[in-house]
Structure 1
């Protein structure tokens, strides 16, 4: 980091409204505050995030988030060196809410405005938490996104592969609903799988028979659905052991796919010193253990930032803006919200759509 910067960050791309203050310096970065308001209760009755409800909640909470973030950091708005905001990709209503709030703050204070790619925030988080050296291999695995990236600089990302349909986190949520487990699906499936037999059902490992690092989870989801329907047809419902075995079998399939594709990602790049994983799905201990093993086998260090900085937050947005500030100037007040915004602009956009909106 060439100079010290204090950045206020805003994030509102899905169902978390967040603001944070990050201070960077040549010897590292520090999160002075990080405020997150979740919306799980607002969307619980609908089985997923409702964009209109999310956008309205963001508009109501953003000012409160900013005020609390500044208070907790012990600074005033005029003390910051810049204002950063997620400008995409994501649910467009939420992104617009954040961009409009950030524009208002920038216009009122005259502070520089930085529009940040949400995925760049995730991809650069290991540098915030562990000061990881470039280049490093990154797996972003969450409810809305899943892709392998070679990160060679603050704005230098090469996508090696990703999901062509459902992201793993979205698949966990859907499978949990299918087999009668609560939301969020990730922790529920992991808990149920602890008493399950992963070998009872022969679930597929999609795309392992094809070269490359692309992934697919829709076929696996369909296989679980058909097995569930068969069990219900034969016995009139699911026992707790059925639920546990379905959860264990599904989780094992996801673990195998992510581990094999991670190994292929290592093969696709020159030797790198670190394998970094971010996103809520990385909290799953079975997935984490498998990825740590792959990393060790490939001679790389394994880094998974704390969960609070793996899931959506504004600290990563503030830090990404500081990282990129030396490469480009600030944005002006014509900054636009973008539902799609690929990190690797040299490649075609990915297929599929997760709960955060279109894949980037």
Structure 2
């Protein structure tokens, strides 16, 4: 998930922008949220006049973007906030947002000056001798002089505060928005109604790898009744679904299933997608893997025999299918479960 993780999926950006604006006003920092590609996902809060002019300049804006990119890369490299000087000798900071140690975005803040020891901060892009940069800076020196000044310690405190804030908000968003909604989606076709007694949050709901495994399991296990037979919400589909469960050693296609319920394969496909919330081919593949996991955990059958028992053409295809869904091979999964 992390590779495709999007901040927009779990954050209420409208609420974030309101909070971002209040933080910018309270700290005198200009703040913007960017995704892992460096693309802004919020408006720029409290951007200062000089920086607004520079970022609107066709040539100088490129240098501003380079500074942002280099600052963010250094923050990602170290895994912690990075305070630096831009090409105009103005201080900015990049606060990386990491999920499972993977970079998903950053808070870019700053547009301030230090009350002392400004030169001790690294300058990520040196263009003092660039004529256009020097001329622009000289022309608008009064705007630079009006920038807020903070002690170095105050800047480090602000960076630490933003880091903890974004960690908290993102982790809470994952738990309360992504996790809960994903579980509700995965459980919405459960045979029994969802109640507080039948469902509880995962023990480690901030770990995305854990969530992925839990969601994979919930798609199947939580949807099945005690006798491992799925009870369809659309009763018209029950004969087709019963046939799938009764013929675990075969691979039934939509044509065969459609004949059982007197529907066209196309219409059956649409009804099954409505029932399961995803294409039938995907849920069928996950069912096969679920049955394979039962055999792997509860028997000593070789991988090849499990493959045959579930109707796979050859063991290599079974192994590829299993790994695609679970993330590891059947043998490694069995070994891990038996440790």
TM-score computed with the length of structure 1 as normaliser: 0.21
Q: Which has the higher strand share?
A: 1
Query: If you compute each CA radius of gyration, which structure gives the higher value, 1 or 2?
Result: 2
TM-score computed with the length of structure 2 as normaliser: 0.21
Q: Tell me which of the two structures has the higher relative contact order, counting C-alpha pairs closer than 8 angstroms and 6 or more residues apart.
A: 1
